[in-house]
Amino acid sequence: MVALRFLPTWLLVLTLLAGCASTNNADTASDTEDEWATEDEWNDWDDWEDGTWDPLERYNRWVFAFNDVADTYVARPVAVAYRENIPRGIRRPIHNFVNNLREPFNAANHYLQASGETGTRSVTRFAINSTIGIFGLFDVAGAFGLERERTDLGLTLGEWGTPEGPYLVVPLLGPSTLRDASGLAGQYYTRHYHAPMHWADLERPERYSTAVVTGIDARSRLLGLDEMMAETGTDPYVFMRESYLQNRREQLGEDDWDDWDDWDDDEWNDEEEWDDEDDWDEDTEWDDDEWEEMSDD
């Protein structure tokens, strides 16, 4: 536990070094490794607005504009610097570390969804990666064939039949729905039970450091989405709304888009992992979202 206490601080130092590094390409993603789809793979963009229930659109657009300013001047420049200045060999262990912290939460939700086999796999992954994988820095379980399957409380509520509710943009966290936002609240208020950082009885600075590292890692893996939105020319608000809703509905089996990849880093990073034959062999997941991970404290 002593080693775990200091690990988040060192991870934060590595990521903040990237933010301090100078870059001349802060407005564009420097590598194309995050590209995950082509415009041809999407249906008619103009049809996206049809039939979408968005009674809170006026409020949502206001929050979206606020989030966009915060992203433009803070989150994205740091993410770009992180991607351009931190070697992939360091970024990968950081990503594995923050993903491993979510495994107990994944396991609990799989069990709540009556998916005992998947829940047990998450527990096994956490046990293996936290020990043999050195606090999750290395995805040893993945190398053994135990793939991670991320889930959350919002999906659990959906499995239980809870209505999706209206689309909702959460300050700083981004796209959500009333159901998913309730899941985020539940995750926050139960963090003492499922968050390893609380199990280790870490102080607030260490937990905040982990949250910052998680946010930077998550944003760096969304850089390809910026280019996609620019290429489509569609309303960014509509793009994010429809992308998020389609993904969440597909995860619950409510949609059947064969050409849509789940918002999961296994899909987002296929090109990143295979564009160099010397890269790591196993896939990773982003987050996905990643929308709720900053609420770990």
The helix/strand/coil state of 39 is: helix
- Give dist(CA 116, CA 121) in Å, integer: 9
Q: What is the pLDDT along the chain (297 residues), one digit of tens a residue?
A: 444 444 544 444 444 444 444 333 333 333 333 333 344 444 444 444 555 889 999 999 999 999 999 999 999 999 999 999 999 999 999 999 999 999 999 999 999 999 999 999 999 999 999 999 999 999 999 999 999 999 999 999 999 999 999 999 999 999 999 999 999 999 999 988 998 888 877 778 888 888 899 999 999 999 988 888 888 888 999 999 999 999 999 999 876 444 434 444 444 444 444 344 444 344 444 444 444 444 444
- How far CA 257 is from CA of 168, 243, 262, in Å, comes to 23, 11, 10
Nearest to 108 by CA among 95, 118, 99, 98: 118
- pTM reported for the whole predicted model: 0.70
For residues 124 and 144, the answer to whether their CB atoms sit within 8 Å is no
Measured N-to-C along each axis, helices 57-70 and 236-251 cross at an angle, to the nearest 10 degrees, of 100
DSSP letters along 111-126, please?
A: HHTT-HHHHHHHHHHH
Quote the Cα angle for 271-227-252, to 5°: 70
pLDDT tens digits along 50-106: 558 899 999 999 999 999 999 999 999 999 999 999 999 999 999 999 999 999 999
